[in-house]
A = this chain, B = another copy of it.
Amino acid sequence: MGVQERRARERAARKETILDAARALLLEQGFTGTTTKQIAEHCELSEATVFFYFKSKDEIFISLLFEGIEFWCHGLEKIAGLDLTPEDTLARIWKFFGQVHTEHPEYYQLSAFLARPRSTTDVSDEVRTDIIQLSGKNFQKLADILENALGKGEGRVAADLLWASFLGLTLVRESRINLGAPRHPTDRDMNRIIKLITHGLLSDTNNGERT
């Protein structure tokens, strides 16, 4: 028994090692830009061993994605359980986004991977459905939290705004050549921005459907 347990633990550890390598490389080079050889070298294993643990390159990145989705799920559940003022709720969410970015920085890139249109070895429909469903649930949870905090049926739009802003800022911040600002947004900038958004969301009394 002890043997089997240890084996399972070791196996899990190796898998995680491989995922860590893939994560790092994905961030720097994107999906097509990352090769299985690089991944293997990065974790000092032979390519064949990588394929012993994962059936294909795709499977590696899908595993990464599921890890990210789960991280989201836990984080949002924790926030939902807290009892905070609207302002603090927004701040807390923003902070959580930062954590996602710290611990699963590849999460943003993965959407690009899944967006590939006609790739050959494409993700199976089953997996695709799982991803969509789980992601959808996560987003709904975020919208619910915001709806609770803000009321006014703005939860969904607020979720869009927060999530997209953070995503955009993150991308800008990470790219080595900044196509926009001559310096990347700092943490202070980020704080300033969430305050502006908060302000917009909270003081927004006279909204409505005047498209």
Q: Which positions in A face B, CB cutoff 8 Å?
A: 28-33, 65, 69, 107, 110-112, 114-117, 128, 131-132, 135-136, 138-140, 142-143, 156-161, 163-169, 171-172, 174-182, 185, 188-189, 191-193, 195-201, 203-204, 207, 211
Closest Cβ neighbor of A178 among chain B residues: B135
Q: How far is the CB of A130 from chain B (nearest CB, A)?
A: 11
Q: Please give, as numbers and ranges, the residues of chain B lying within 8 Å of A185 by CB-CB distance.
A: 160, 164
Is the Cβ of A174 less than 8 Å from the Cβ of B31? no
Contacts A136-B182, A168-B169 hold; do A112 and B30 have CB atoms under 8 A apart? yes
Q: How many copies does the complex hold?
A: 4
A164 CA to B114 CA in the complex, in Å? 22
Summarize A's interface: helix, strand, loop or mixed. Answer: helix
Further 6 A-B residue pairs, CB within 8 A, beyond A157-B189, A199-B199 = A28-B116, A69-B179, A135-B178, A139-B180, A163-B181, A196-B201
Q: How far is the CB of A89 from chain B (nearest CB, A)?
A: 16
The 10 A-B pairs with the shortest beta carbon distances in the complex, nearest first, are A200-B200, A168-B168, A164-B168, A136-B182, A32-B32, A167-B168, A164-B169, A114-B177, A196-B200, A111-B175
CB within 8 Å for A175 and B139 given contacts A164-B165, A192-B157, A197-B200 = no
Smallest distance from the beta carbon of A152 to chain B beta carbons, Å?
11
By a CB distance below 8 angstroms, the chain B residues around A159 are 180-181
Whole-angstrom distance between the alpha carbons of A198 and B206 in the complex?
13
Q: Which of A128, A176, A192 has the most CB of B within 10 A?
A: A192
Q: A32-B30, A197-B161 are in contact. Are A188 and B171 (CB under 8 A)?
A: no
Pick from B117, B131, B179: contact of A114, CB under 8 Å: B179
Chain B hits for A211, CB < 8 A? 188, 191
Instruction: With CB as the reference atom, state the residue of chain B lying closest to A159.
Output: B181
Instruction: Say yes or no: A169 contacts B160, CB within 8 Å.
Output: yes
A177 touching B128 by the CB < 8 A rule?
yes
